[in-house]
Chains A and B, each alone.
Chain A
Amino acid sequence: MPKVKSLEDLNKLRQQAQQDLKVREKAGTQIIIGMGTCGIAAGARETLHAILDELARRELAANVTTVGCIGMCTEEPLVDIVQPGQDRITYGHLTADRVARLVEEHLVNGRVVREWVVGQIAPSGN
């Protein structure tokens, strides 16, 4: 019988997390994954987990969340990246295998991956 994680392990994690929380509040990157039926069928859940893994591997902080169908079903999986003062970028066909490059270029190098962009909105107040 392998040792299964228990809720008590959480205490250690909690202390560590309180540190990370400060980092994240400063970072302010939001990553939003479309999770309607078409997104799910196209692999959006796997994309989401690939993003979580890649963020963890590179020790990057971002707020990862989901949204329902936005009507671009043929472009799924859809991933939006929102950063303060930057255009909101929507990427299409963002399957799990594209996540490593997306994170490296957009989040680490600050360069939009043009060939995958399907939408771009200027930040409000611009």
Chain B
Amino acid sequence: MRELALHLLDVAQNALEAGATRLAIEIEEDLAADRLTISVVDNGRGMDAELLAKVRDPFTTTRTTRRVGLGIPLLTAAAERCNGKVEIASQPGQGTAVMATFQHSHIDRAPLGDVAGTLVTAILAKPELELTYRHRVGEREFVFSAAELREQLGDVPLNLGPVIQWVREYLSENIAALYETDETNASPTSNVESQDE
């Protein structure tokens, strides 16, 4: 996948297919430690030890439409290529936590890409989803919660055209602001990762 945000969407999709009603997504860019961590925690049906042990094998899938599962193996390969790894913890009936780490500066690390687009897609997949998102870049942080948004919207659903367009802009502007260099900074072009599609 050409963006980490597409891997993220794929992991979120697994959670939704597992019946999750809550989804907590976190991206942490620890520039000092040169580490990028993506974590996705859901309250879906979870996996038993046997399934969990096999889930990195591309021939493991519980889907009936196709005999191979690709999502987790692709993410694992991407992380391992960048001196990172994928850790999965799961409890049947409780939920699943997937954590992928990457060396932030690794030459093979795909850009984060359009995270806002991914979050909007998850909202459209399940408009009543309790989605939370936290993104840290160094000292800066952006936090989003779909519940908070719903409170403001009252009876207007999140998946209504103009609302979802607004949410997408809201998310991409706030995520882009995490990367803005201060006016006092001498080199405004360094370390800026574009959030445009």
Contact = CB atoms under 8 A, between A and B. Distances in A.
Nearest to A38: B70
B173 interface: yes
B34 interface: no
Q: Classify chain B: how many residues form its interface, as a range.
A: 35 or more
A35 B160 CA distance: 19
Contacts of A61: 161
A41 interface: yes
A10 B162 contact: no
Interface string A50-78: 00100110000111111011110100000
Given A56-B161, A64-B124, A68-B13, A37 B174 contact: no
Given A14-B153, A21-B156, A1 B180 contact: yes
Given A7-B148, A40-B1, A73-B66, A65 B17 contact: no
Contact of B1 (A41, A62, A71): A41
A49 interface: yes
A105 interface: no
Contacts of A14: 152-154, 156
A102 to B, nearest CB: 17
Given A5-B174, A64-B164, 7 more contacts: A11-B152, A13-B162, A35-B9, A37-B71, A45-B117, A55-B161, A65-B125
